[in-house]
Amino acid sequence: MKQLPETFGALVFDDRVMKSMLPAKVYASLRHTIDENASLDLTVANAVAAAMKEWAVKNGATHFTHWFQPLTGITAEKHDSFISPAPDGGVIMEFSGKELIQGEPDASSFPSGGLRATFEARGYTAWDPTSYAFIKGKTLCIPTAFCAYGGEALDKKTPLLRSMQALNRQAMRILKLFGNTDVKCVKTSVGPEQEYFLIDRELYKQRKDLVFTGRTLFGAPAPKGQELDDHYFGVIKPRVQAYMEELNEELWKLGILAKTEHNEVAPSQHELAPIYTTTNVAADHNQLTMEIMQKVALKHGLVCLLHEKPFAGVNGSGKHNNWSIATDTGVNLLSPGETPYENAQFLLFLCAVIKAVDDYQDLLRIAVATAGNDHRLGANEAPPAVVSIFLGDELTAILEAIEKDEPYQGAEKEVMKLGVHALPKFKKDATDRNRTSPFAFTGNKFEFRMLGSANSISCTNIMLNAAVAESLKIYADRLETADDFETVLHEMIRKTIKDHKRILFNGNGYDEAWIKEATEVRHLMNLRTTPDAIPHLLDPKNVKMLLSHKVFTEAELRSRHEITLENYCKAVLIEANTMADMAKKEILPAVSGYCGKLAAVAAAKQAVLPNVPCAYETDTLDALSTLADQIAERTSVLKTVTGIVKAIDDVKQQGYAIRDDLLPLMDELRESCDKAETLTAKEDWPFPTYDDLLFGV
Ligand code: ADP
Ligand code: MG
């Protein structure tokens, strides 16, 4: 067997391969493109394509694809084979620089949210040389951006790359002001921690709700849930262990730095975390990771559930977006420095994040808004829908001291002034015991915890990068024209703390009292559901900011507004239909059949023992008959209302109707059915129950 260092990245056209296969000049030119976003010419592309093809064919590939991330949230690929006919009747394997750089998939079936009405229907894909090509199965996959012919982004990668550039532009201005002239560029890095459930495939197949919607729409709680906390970090079962081992191997071959794995809080729930990397690569890797998690599970007779809330009553699954900003010279700008000057620079970047998160709370909330994630946020298992920042006690005390121009008790008895002297060298406090905060500083990075497990991390990072770029721009504009740099810097930091301290909260984010304080006293936004959140995407302040940094065009924003709401509506409407179907075709016949059995037993018993009341049979029969009527009634109401909601043309109004009318009816129907489940014999219940699913692996 090969050792890990040999297999790691074996299926990736990475730096090692490029260095060994490309002519030195081509390699240098490509590296320049990758590291500094320089543009790339066709001769270089031709040389790269030739090497890529040779390497891919040697590794068993027969096809290539432009691999991209349309607005469906999952990845897309269309395979072309390398072959072209040769005059002698055989074939040769061909792949040109042009084919590497640009492709033309038929864009018409991907969601465009109205972009197609305004622009040409065709789309094209464009190579992203900053994310390495890789082999999946027999196909060379080339990470690409996906755009309409007018240039409008039809994907999630394009705005992500733009947001990284926006942040780079503004951060470079700031670094220059601090005298960092050797830095060539600034990039953000992300390490996403990914939660998921594993359940038995045979059981999964018997549940239409899981198959059609990814979550259970019915199910009474199992006698045991997560109350003992015995699953968290517990011993990993052999079947799961085998799965994780194979998953790691597959990920490693693709150059994905899968690092930690453990059991999560809920039964059958697990987590995988990679080592952090450049944001757009992390986004590609996370999409690939989710895909491979699901594929490998099938090989083990399992199904990997990535839905945010597959089971009621136990924790759902999220994703933590660990984010930092670093220079190409290796300096993490969110790491407190060694000297007061470095610390002043750190504080400015910290303030930029604080200001960004406060000013654009709604954009961060929007980035994680899906029907599935609405079940988690604020349900005492994930951060609330209110965005706030945890900084920890020490950093908070430092900021307070700066704001009040008071001595910081950790330092010498001196009023803290930024710049040349007196800013204390503070300890880097990497201990973050607060798991309830949506946005926590963890020593040298921020951890955003509102993402749902199935979310693309691109959305979050687009908004985060753009919002921070905006803060930095405001700072740079002011500082570049300052007569006295240090005084202005100090005043700006003070002002940020003063204006934005309302977003700082170190307490328990799950506490009801916090939501009250956050909304009533601090006036933070509480966008509880997707239909509440998404319309804010088009608020003038958001449009203005995103346009000014060239992260989105107005048409692109409108299209995302449309598509996100549409996805929400479609998801819930499918759930409603599935519920009605299961209630009518599976639950009601089962309950009715069991009632028949009870009635028969009661009648038979009474024929023999006329004086025995048969309380169990008759009471259960009574309760179940009443419930069956209720289920039938609720199913029929649900069906009617689903039809009405479905007919609403305006997607925003449809979203509101789903939130206000449809979801409550679904809850009611579920309640009756779950009650019926607890009264029906196990063998008569038509599909696997929570005990089976959660403890079945
Ligand atoms: P936790 O206590 O939340 O599990 P870890 O230290 O294990 O924290 O890190 C979680 C994730 O954060 C990992 O994916 C890790 O690679 C990532 N991470 C660590 N440092 C950074 C950084 N500077 N920038 C971005 N991500 C980071
Ligand atoms: Mg974490």
The residue among 105, 102, 152 whose CA lies nearest residue 127 is 102
pLDDT for position 334: 95
Q: How distant is the alpha carbon of residue 250 from its chain centre?
A: 21
User: Which of the ligands is closest to the CA of residue 285?
Assistant: 1
Using an 8 Å Cβ cutoff, are 578 and 134 in contact? no
pLDDT, position 35 = 83
Mean pLDDT of all residues in 277-286: 96
User: Ligand 1 centroid to 83 CA: how many Å?
Assistant: 43
- What pLDDT does 422 receive? 44
Per-residue pLDDT tens digits for 538-578? 999 999 999 999 999 999 999 999 999 999 999 999 999 99
Evaluate if residue 304 carries a pLDDT over 50. Answer: yes
Chain CA centroid to CA 11, Å: 25
Q: Which amino acid is at 287?
A: Q
CA of 445 to the centre of ligand 1 (A): 8
CA distances from 160 to 257, 450, 463, 467 (A): 21, 18, 9, 12
Give the pLDDT score at 406.
Answer: 75
Token pair for 662: 């449809």
The number of angstroms, rounded, from the C-alpha of 131 to the middle of its chain's C-alpha atoms is: 19
DSSP state of 393: H
- Within the chain, all domains assigned CATH 3.10.20.70 are found at 4-154
Ranking 34-43, 217-226, 604-613 by mean pLDDT, the lowest is: 34-43
**Any idea which residue has 């072959």 for tokens?**
83
Q: Whose CA is nearest to atom 1 of ligand 1?
A: 193
Structure tokens at 644: 């009405």
User: 27 and 19 in contact (C-beta within 8 Å)?
Assistant: yes
Q: Is 408 exposed, middle or buried (0-12, 13-18, 19+ CB in 10 A)?
A: buried
Top-level CATH class of 163-328+349-407+428-552?
alpha beta
pLDDT in the model for residue 113: 75
Ligand 2: centre distance to CA 191 (Å) = 9
Q: Where in the chain is the domain with CATH 3.30.590.10?
A: 163-328+349-407+428-552
Bridge partners for 386 per DSSP: 526
Give the gyration radius of the chain's Cα atoms.
Answer: 28
Examine the pLDDT at 87 and tell me if it is beyond 60: yes
Please give the Cα distance from 117 to 111 (Å, whole number): 12
Q: Map residue 41 onto helix, strand or coil.
A: coil
Confidence of residue 413 (pLDDT cuts 50, 70, 90): very low
Q: Residue 366: what pLDDT? A: 98
d(CA 210, CA 203): 10
How far does residue 322's CA lie from ligand 1's centre (Å)? 6
Residue 88, Cβ density class (10 Å: 0-12 exposed, 13-18 middle, ≥19 buried): exposed
Ligand 1 atom 13, closest CA = 191
pLDDT of 177 > 70? The answer is yes
Decide if 224 contacts 590 (C-beta within 8 A): no
Count CA atoms within 13 Å of residue 145 on its CB side.
Answer: 18
Q: What is the pLDDT of residue 15?
A: 94
From ligand 1's centre to the CA of 282, what distance in Å? 12
Choose the weakest-confidence range: 52-61, 357-366, 418-427: 418-427
Token pair 């733009």 is found at 162
Give a three-class secondary structure readout of 98-145. HHHHEECCCHHHCCCCCHHHHCCCCEEEEECCCCCCEEECCEEEEEEE
- What separation in angstroms does the CA of 412 have from each of 176, 406, 409, 426, 634? 30, 11, 7, 12, 69
**CA distance linking residue 558 with residue 71, whole number of Å:** 13
- Which segments of 387-517 does DSSP mark as H helices, in order? 393-404, 457-480, 485-500, 512-516
pLDDT (average), residues 634-647: 98
d(CA 226, CA 579): 26
- 642 CB within 6 A, ligand 1: no
- For ligand 1, is residue 193 a contact (CB within 6 Å)? yes
Q: Is 324 close to ligand 1, i.e. is its CB under 6 Å away?
A: yes
Alpha helix segments (H runs only) across 300-392: 340-359, 361-367, 371-374
- Res 420 pLDDT > 70: no
Distance, CA of 274 to CA of 192 (rounded, Å): 7
- CA 319 / ligand 2 centre spacing (Å): 9
pLDDT for 653: 98
The answer to whether the beta carbons of residues 172 and 472 sit under 8 Å apart is no
Out of 84-93, 110-119, 141-150, 455-464, give the one with best mean pLDDT: 455-464
For ligand 1, whether the C-beta of 273 sits within 6 Å is yes
The total number of residues written for the chain in this structure: 697
Residue 249 CA to ligand 1 center (angstroms) comes to 21
Top-level class of domain 567-694? mainly alpha
Task: Answer whether 274 contacts ligand 1 (Cβ < 6 A).
Answer: yes
In degrees, rounded to 5, the angle at the alpha carbon of residue 334 between the alpha carbons of residues 329 and 337 is 75
CA gap 686, 132 in Å, rounded: 48
What is the 172 CA–ligand 1 centroid distance (Å)? Answer: 24
pLDDT tens-digit readout, 453-506: 999 999 999 999 999 999 999 999 999 999 999 899 989 999 999 999 999 999
Is any ligand 1 atom within 6 A of the Cβ of residue 275? yes
The answer to whether the CB of 191 is under 6 A from ligand 1 is yes
Question: What number is the average pLDDT over the span 126-133?
Answer: 92
- Which CATH code fits 4-154? 3.10.20.70
Residue 92: predicted pLDDT? 87
Which atom of ligand 1 lies closest to the CA of 432? 2
> At residue 417, does pLDDT exceed 50?
no
Q: What is the mean pLDDT of residues 324-328?
A: 96
CA nearest ligand 1 atom 14, residue: 191
Q: How far apart are CA 142 and CA 66, in angstroms?
A: 5
Quote the pLDDT of residue 419: 43
Return the pLDDT at 690: 96
- The share of the chain scoring above pLDDT 90, in percent, equals 74
* Residue-wise pLDDT tens digits, 238-247: 899 999 999 9
pLDDT for 117 beyond 60: no
Counting from 1 in the atom list of ligand 1, the atom nearest the Cα of 275 is: 16
- The H or E element that residue 84 is part of is strand 83-85
Please work out whether the CB of residue 332 comes within 6 Å of at least one atom of ligand 1: yes
Which atom belonging to ligand 1 lies closest to the Cα atom of 260? 7
Listed range (199-203, 304-308, 485-489, 656-660) with the worst mean pLDDT: 485-489
183 Cα–ligand 2 center, Å: 30
Least reliable range by pLDDT among 250-264, 389-403, 404-418, 520-534: 404-418
Q: What pLDDT does 34 receive?
A: 87
Helices in 222-339 by DSSP H: which ranges?
Answer: 238-253, 279-299
State residue 340's pLDDT score. Answer: 67
Backbone dihedral angles phi then psi of residue 693, each to the nearest 5 degrees = -70, -45
Q: Which of 186, 260, 322 most suits a substitution to test ligand 1, by most atoms within 8 Å of the C-beta? A: 322
How far apart, in whole angstroms, are the C-alpha atoms of residue 418 and residue 411? 13
The predicted model gives 366-392 an average pLDDT of: 92
Helix (H, G, I), strand (E, B) or coil at 336: coil
Whether the CB of 445 sits within 6 Å of ligand 1: yes
What value does the mean pLDDT take over residues 289-309? 97
Whether the CB of 434 sits within 6 Å of ligand 1: no
pLDDT for residue 613:
86
Angle, in degrees to the nearest 10, between helices 393-404 and 485-500: 120
Ligand nearest to the CA of 330: 1
In 3D space, the residue among 291, 198, 194, 290 whose CA is nearest the CA of residue 237 turns out to be: 198
Instruction: Report how far apart, in Å, the C-alpha atoms of 159 and of each of 75, 86, 553 are.
Output: 16, 41, 10
DSSP state of 179: T
Distance 193 CA to ligand 2 centre (A): 6
Every domain range in the chain assigned CATH 1.20.120.1560? 567-694
Question: Using one digit for the tens of pLDDT, what is the confidence trace for 149-174?
Answer: 888 899 999 999 999 999 999 999 99
What pLDDT is attached to residue 662? 98
pLDDT band at residue 425 using 50, 70 and 90 as cut-offs: low
Which atom of ligand 1 is found nearest the CA of 444? Answer: 23
Q: Is the CB of 437 under 6 A from ligand 1?
A: no
Least confident of 18-27, 223-232, 346-355, 661-670: 223-232
Q: What are the phi and psi torsion angles at 448 (to 5°)?
A: -95, 120
Spatial contact of 530 and 568, defined as CB atoms under 8 Å apart: yes
Distance 320 CA to ligand 2 centre (A): 6
pTM comes to 0.94
CA torsion sign for 608, 612, 614, 618 is positive
What does the alpha-carbon distance between residue 148 and residue 125 come to, in Å, rounded to a whole number?
Answer: 9
Mutational pocket test of ligand 1: of 256, 276, 289, the residue with most ligand atoms within 8 Å of the beta carbon? 276
Question: What's the average model confidence in pLDDT over 38-45?
Answer: 86
Mean pLDDT in the chain? 91
Q: Map tokens 């204006």 to a residue.
A: 499
Query: Which ligand gives the minimal distance to the CA of 432?
Result: 1
Please indicate whether residue 318, judged by its CB atom, sits closer than 6 Å to ligand 1: no
* Nearest-10 crossing angle of helices 457-480, 340-359: 120
Question: Looking up tokens 């920890």, which residue turns up?
Answer: 392
Cα of 191 vs centre of ligand 1, distance in Å, is 6
* Residue 108 burial (10 A CB sphere; 0-12, 13-18, 19+): exposed
- As beta bridge partners, residue 467 has none
* Whether residue 395 has pLDDT greater than 50: yes
